[in-house]
Amino acid sequence: MKKNLIVLLSLIFIIILLHSTPHVALRTYVFFSGHPIIALSTDIVDDEYHNKVNKENYDELNAKAYTLTNPPIEKATQGELRNYLVRKFGILHYVEFLGEG
């Protein structure tokens, strides 16, 4: 029983750690999307265009857009996976792909 509790608490700690900041959450998302090298090597910058155009919507969602400077390439369409939206829920950050537009 004690061993199970330690494993469970360790998993919860890891999840919180991997979603504790926008940049770490974004790197985790890209890593588990199948691009581990890019996740660890790319720079992350604020997506000024999307943050400016969608300011009111992002404020309501408690979100901010970010851009990868060296984005991964999607194999099926050869498109760049450059822009992501990071939403904050409590202390955790969640990432979703925003697209090119």
Domain count, the chain: 1
Q: Are 1 and 9 in contact (CB under 8 A)?
A: no
Question: What pLDDT shows up at residue 1?
Answer: 84
How many whole angstroms separate alpha carbon 45 and alpha carbon 92?
Answer: 19
- Residues 16-35: pLDDT tens digits? 999 999 999 999 999 999 99
* Structural domain of 66: 2-97
User: Can you give the pTM of this predicted structure?
Assistant: 0.87
- Residues 34-77: pLDDT tens digits? 999 999 999 999 999 999 999 999 999 999 999 999 898 888 88
How many whole angstroms separate alpha carbon 97 and alpha carbon 35?
Answer: 14
From residue 77, give the alpha-carbon distance in Å to each of 19, 23, 44, 80, 81.
29, 26, 23, 9, 10
